[in-house]
Amino acid sequence: MLLRCRDRTLALDVPAVMGILNVTPDSFSDGGQHYERQVAIAAGLRMVEEGAAIVDVGGESTRPGASAVDAQQEIDRVVPVIEALAARADVVLSVDTSKPEVIAAALRAGAHLVNDIRALRMPGALEAVAAQNAAVCVMHMQGEPATMQVDPRYDDVVGEVRTFLLARVNACLAAGISRDSICIDPGIGFGKTYQHNVDLLRNQRSFTDLGYPLLIGVSRKGVIGIMTGRPASARVVGSAVAAAFAVQAGASIVRAHDVAATVDAVKVAVALRGGVSD
Query: Any catalytic annotation for residue 99?
Result: no
Residue 26 φ/ψ, nearest 5 degrees: -145, 25
**Collapsing DSSP states into helix, strand and coil, what is residue 32?**
coil
**Minimal CA–CA distance to 34: which of 16, 66, 62, 57?**
57
The residue type at 246: A
Give me the catalytic one of 4, 99, 221, 235. 221
**Rounded Cα gap, residues 80 and 9, in angstroms:** 24
Query: Any catalytic annotation for residue 221?
Result: yes
Q: Are 200 and 188 in contact (CB under 8 A)?
A: yes
Give me the catalytic one of 63, 162, 220, 255. 255
Burial class (CB in 10 A: 0-12, 13-18, 19+), 170: exposed
Determine the distance from the C-alpha atom of residue 265 to the mean position of all C-alpha atoms in its chain, rounded to a whole number: 18
Q: What is the DSSP letter of 247?
A: H
The full DSSP string for 119-141 is TT-STTHHHHHHHTT-EEEEE--
**Those residues with Cβ within 8 angstroms of residue 243's Cβ, 6 or more apart along the chain or in another chain:** 17, 216, 218, 219, 254, 256, 262, 265, 266, 269
Q: What is the DSSP letter of 15?
A: P
The residue type at 135: A
Residues with a catalytic annotation lie at 221, 255
